[in-house]
Amino acid sequence: MMVVDLINNISDPVYRAKLINVSDTIENWLSEFGGFQKKCS
């Protein structure tokens, strides 16, 4: 994925929704992983 494509696609609402969804998924995964690390330590 080129940076130019990214910038061009940001104006597309569908693409933006996907991007937000992906970042939410990553945040959820990171918080779950953080909780998992706390349990282990």
CB count in 10 Å sphere of residue 9: 14
Residue type, 27: E
Predicted confidence at residue 31, as pLDDT, reads 93
pLDDT in tens, 3-41: 788 777 777 888 888 888 999 999 999 999 888 777 776
Quote the CA–CA distance of 14 and 24 in Å, as a whole number: 15
Domain boundaries, the chain: 3-40
Question: For the whole model, what pTM was predicted?
Answer: 0.50
- Categorize the per-residue pLDDT at 1 as very low, low, confident or very high, splitting at 50, 70 and 90: low
